[in-house]
Every structure is written in C-alpha cells, then in structure tokens.
Structure 1
Amino acid sequence: MQADNINQVSSDEAGIKKVQFLDWGLIDYKEAWDKQEALFDETVRIKTLNRDNKDGIQQPTNDYLIFCEHPHVYTLGKSGKPEHLLLDEQGLEDKHATYYKINRGGDITYHGPGQIVGYPILDLDHFFTDIHKYLRFLEEAIILTLKEYGITAGRTEGQTGVWLDGDDPWAARKICAMGVRCSRWVTMHGFAFNVNADLNYFGNIVPCGIQDKAVTSLNKELGRDIDINETKEILKSKLCQLFEMNLV
C-alpha cells in the first residue's frame, strides 16, 4: 500500500472517523502479526515525527480495522504462564497447531478457523485516550452483536472479555477473549470471537489463565452453524456505532 493512499484515511467534517477495513481471510498467525506490526510501527513513526516537528506541520495517521481467521494456534501474552499450554512440541504437531509468545497483554488463548479475530490498529488520539474505555467498547460491540442473535452476554468482574452467565460460577462461559497492546495511544492485537470455533482446542490450555471457567461459541449456544460473514457485518456495524466511525 502506498503512503500517499494511506494518509488519506482520517476524519470527515462531521467528526465521524474514517477507518480502513481489511479482511485478511484465513491467514497464518505470524504473517498477520508481521503485517500488524508494520501498520502499527508506521503509525507510531508518524506520531513521533509529528511530536518532534518544530515547524508545526503534522502528517495524518491512519486507523485500521482488520478481521481474519487463523489456522490452529496458541498465543501467550506478556503476563501469561507457559505452563498454561498443556501440550509439548509433539502434542502441538499432532494437533496441527503452532505456538507463539507475543507482545499483547493477557495470558494464553487459542485462535482457529471459525473465529472472528479482530485487530483494530487505531490512533486513539482520534477517538479517546482511555485504554479501559477502549476495551469496554470492544466488549460492548460483541455484547450487542450477540443480542442480535437473542443471546444475553456481559462481563465478569476482574476479567476482560465477553461472557455468558458471567455471574454464575457454575454456568459462566467465555465467548470472546481479548488482549491488546497500546503504545503512544496506538493499539494492536484485539479480540477473538468464537462463532463456529472448534472448542476442543481449548482443552489443551488453561484459557486466559482461568482454570474454573468454560468457553463457548455462537454455534454451540444456538445449536446450528452460523454464517460468519453475516456475523462480521453485524459486528462491524456495532463497532462503527460505538466508535463513531465509518469503514472505507
């Protein structure tokens, strides 16, 4: 992508932010991570130049919303414990899965086909400089999307992500995990929303370091396979509503 095209993505006169939407489809985790890092690093580079620029000329930064799916992979965040992966190298090979230690917050999680993995790379100076509000907005977008399917979801105190029956210790189950990185108010990484995910893969980890909670997916809750493209469109509309943005 050429820089002169990238720099056209900003805000319109009404204050509605313009965000470039990218759907990378099914993509290797490391490849997606590298592509994320490139967009993230470019935004941080521009912000650093703007900060140090003494002549007052400011180069605009860009905002992105990326959706994708990954082949089976386990990722461990900065605060995670390696022992929360319950497979050795042979076990990973047998499951046709890979494993990465990465630079987001949170513990261990699983990504695989049938998830909507969302990577917002946003310059929060365009929105609000509050990382907790940012996380709550991501959660709320998932909650509102589930409401469209007749499912009531919410949060669990002290835990990031979206839960069903979160206040019931016997029935609580997680449907969306989150882990983000933020530097100079630029975000990367994001969320993994279980739509048609193979939940058996969660049996090989202590999900997000939480030993006494189950995981679930939209298709399990509804008892049928879900049109993931339909779910993507609903989720995109909820994110646009909450963040007051248009996708281009």
Structure 2
Amino acid sequence: MIMNRQPISILYLEKPMRYGRYVRYTELLRRSRRENLVFCQHYPVVTMGVQTQASSLLLSAEDFARNAVDIVPVKRGGDATAHEPGQIVIYPHIDLRSRKIPLSDFVKAMLDITSESLDSVFGLKLRPDAKAPGLYTDAGEKVVSSGLEIRSGFSSSGVAVNYSNELQTFSFIHPCGYPGLRMQSVLQLTGQAEKKHDPETDAKKKEFCRIWAERFIQSFSLYS
C-alpha cells in the first residue's frame, strides 16, 4: 500500500520480498530516474558488499541453501550483512545528482534520522561508530546497518533496522566482517520480544516508518 499523501512516492510493503526482486526493481528505477522511498522486509538473505571477505561467510553455499538463505553479491559498500522477516529495510531512491545533494550529507542524514526516530518512538538511544557504519547500543551491540549504492548519481540500498527479527541469519556470517559482533533488535532491547505479533507492535513499527519518512523528506526538501 502507499502510505498517506507525501511529496515523493512512499511504499510500505507489508509482506516479505525476495532480495532478487528488489534488485530488478531498483534497476528499473535507476534507468527511469524515478524517485521513491521504500519500506520493506526480505526473506532470509545474505548480501555481500564489494568489501566482503570470504572469511565472513561461515557456511558453505550448500549449507546456506539448506537453511533457505539466499546469497546475493551487491554493489554497495561494506562487507556481508543479513536481512530476514521482521527487519525494517529502508531504501531511498533519490537522484542526488539532479538535486545537488552531497553524498556525505545524505549518508549522515540517514543515520541521524534513524537514530532520532528510534529515540522518538521507542526511547532507544543508539550511537554511531565512525569505523563501522551503523547504530549501536552502549554495550557495542549493533541494531542498525547501513550501506549505500550510488550509481550515476542515483541512490539505492540504504538502512536496515533490526526490529522484530530473530537474528538467526546473522549467525551464519561475521556481520560487516567483524567476528564476534553481536546483533540486537528493537523489541529485545525494549523487552517486547514476546509481543512481536501484537497489533500495538505493528502500529509502532508503522509510526517509526512515518516519522522517518517525514524527517527524511524535510531534510532534503523532496517535494517534487
């Protein structure tokens, strides 16, 4: 469904989608320079950024298949990360070139807006790490992953927030290439993990997405 009326098209996809389908979709957007903002979730997949090391994958290709986990090389920066149902994945497809948006401002805004929105809706205060893009608890647990793909001045990929996902797919890799990096989810941190299917939990998820979209659009004046 399309969330309310917004300056640019905003899609909130409630059912998980295969990552390969997203790749095909984003290529269509890139060719047409059609901008939008997508909130979605994926079936279990490990995406391998351009800096992925072989040691980051802890299973063989056969074992990934046995666990029903897709493996997809991608052109974004960074090492391997995981997506799975319950995670909030945010994809901004924006023509940075025509809008004259500096890449550094765009990258910083995505994490700042994510941090502010999580604090506003859930009271979570997470911190960035200059050496490892994302947002972390004070104990060093990672909750938010980020990675952009910019080609021809057009953005894809984006931000992934561990919301209600069980984090199992992350156990098959060294997340972002860091052995021992512990992943956390919003519902675990707020003591709501047992309520992942409650209507209130779903409502808070949508509120987070709404606030994120509003702040993102305002930050870059995406009104046309």
TM-score between both structures, scaled by the size of structure 1: 0.77
**Unpaired stretches in structure 1, ≥5 consecutive residues:** 1-16, 44-61, 166-170
Larger radius of gyration: 1
Q: Which residue of 1 aligns with 2:115?
A: 143
User: Which among 160, 163, 180 is matched to residue 195 of structure 1?
Assistant: 163
Given that 1:22 and 1:66 are in contact with CA atoms closer than 8 Å, whether structure 2 keeps it comes out as: yes
Given that 2:217 and 2:223 are in contact with CA atoms closer than 8 Å, whether structure 1 keeps it comes out as: no
Identity rate of aligned residues, in percent?
23
SS of the residue corresponding to residue 109 of structure 1 reads: strand
User: Which among 139, 159, 163 is matched to residue 132 of structure 2?
Assistant: 159
Query: In 1, Cα distance between the equivalents of 2:8 and 2:61?
Result: 40
Q: Which residue of 1 aligns with 2:35?
A: 63
Q: Which residue of 1 aligns with 2:3?
A: none
User: Which among 34, 37, 42 is matched to residue 24 of structure 2?
Assistant: 34
In the TM superposition, what is the alpha-carbon distance from 1:174 to its structure 2 partner?
0.8
Q: CA RMSD in A?
A: 2.1
Query: In 1, Cα distance between the equivalents of 2:111 and 2:206?
Result: 15
In the TM superposition, what is the alpha-carbon distance from 1:98 to its structure 2 partner?
0.8
Deviation digits for residues 182-232 of structure 1, max 9, x if unmatched?
123210111111000112221110101122431111011012135245323
SS of the residue corresponding to residue 192 of structure 1 reads: strand
Q: Which residue of 2 aligns with 1:209?
A: 177
Query: In 2, Cα distance between the equivalents of 1:89 and 1:78?
Result: 18
User: Which among 178, 181, 190 is matched to residue 146 of structure 2?
Assistant: 178
Query: In 1, Cα distance between the equivalents of 2:40 and 2:207?
Result: 13
Question: Within 5 Å, which residues of 2 pair with 1:78-97?
Answer: 78-97=50-69
Given that 2:7 and 2:223 are in contact with CA atoms closer than 8 Å, whether structure 1 keeps it comes out as: yes
Query: In 2, Cα distance between the equivalents of 1:157 and 1:212?
Result: 18
Given that 2:118 and 2:208 are in contact with CA atoms closer than 8 Å, whether structure 1 keeps it comes out as: no
**Unpaired stretches in structure 2, ≥5 consecutive residues:** 1-5
Given that 2:39 and 2:209 are in contact with CA atoms closer than 8 Å, whether structure 1 keeps it comes out as: no
Q: Which residue of 2 aligns with 1:240?
A: 214
Structure 1 runs, 4 residues or longer, greater than 3 Å off: 125-128, 245-248
Question: Within 5 Å, which residues of 2 pair with 1:224-239?
Answer: 224=192, 225-226=195-196, 227-239=201-213
Note closer, same or farther for the CA distance 1:121–1:242 as it changes in structure 2 (3 Å cut). closer
Given that 1:175 and 1:193 are in contact with CA atoms closer than 8 Å, whether structure 2 keeps it comes out as: yes
Given that 1:240 and 1:247 are in contact with CA atoms closer than 8 Å, whether structure 2 keeps it comes out as: no
Q: Which residue of 2 aligns with 1:221?
A: 189
SS of the residue corresponding to residue 214 of structure 1 reads: coil
AA aligned to 1:132 is S
Once structures 1 and 2 are overlaid, which stretch shifts more, 89-98 or 194-203? 89-98
AA aligned to 2:11 is L
In the TM superposition, what is the alpha-carbon distance from 1:242 to its structure 2 partner?
4.0
